[in-house]
Amino acid sequence: MLASVFPGLEALPEREREDGVMVRYRLPPAYSVASPARALHPALLVFPRYLQGSAAALPQLTPAGPLGRLLAGCQPSLRHPSIEAVAGIMPTMEQASCRELVMGDLLDSARHVMKLAEDTCVRAGHLFGNIFGLNS
């Protein structure tokens, strides 16, 4: 469907999502990724889980939850990272508010995530809250 918009998409490996849909993932363009010296740590990590007919909820994950969810969503070749790789991502997991988005209705779920993002920006005093009009 998107092959005409993204050349080379058909050559990327397919992955089966949790909902059974086959997808292909592209890396973001290099110009859109900040250098490590300028990159900011995320304040919020949201791991979606679709449950048909469920009301939206954003429970806090246990300390081990984010790492397990992240690795479960990786390509098979990345599911068994080295100790060094895990040590490299743990500070991000520990600093961010890590939530699971249980969702059924997309619009209701989006409202919950936007409210959580707004609250996170306000608490952290993030510049991005002002950029997106969240602190007005």
User: Each residue of 28-82: pLDDT tens digit?
Assistant: 777 777 777 777 778 888 888 888 888 888 999 887 788 888 777 766 666 677 8
User: Each residue of 93-105: pLDDT tens digit?
Assistant: 888 889 988 888 8
The CA R_g of the chain, rounded to the nearest whole Å, is 17
Residue type, 80: H
Q: CB 73: neighbour CB atoms within 10 A?
A: 14
Half-sphere exposure of 43 (CA within 13 A, CB side): 14
Verdict on whether the full-model pTM lies above 0.75: no
Domain boundaries, the chain: 13-29+41-104
Q: Which two tokens stand for residue 122?
A: 């306000």
Mean pLDDT check: name the lowest of 20-24, 44-48, 72-76, 113-117: 72-76
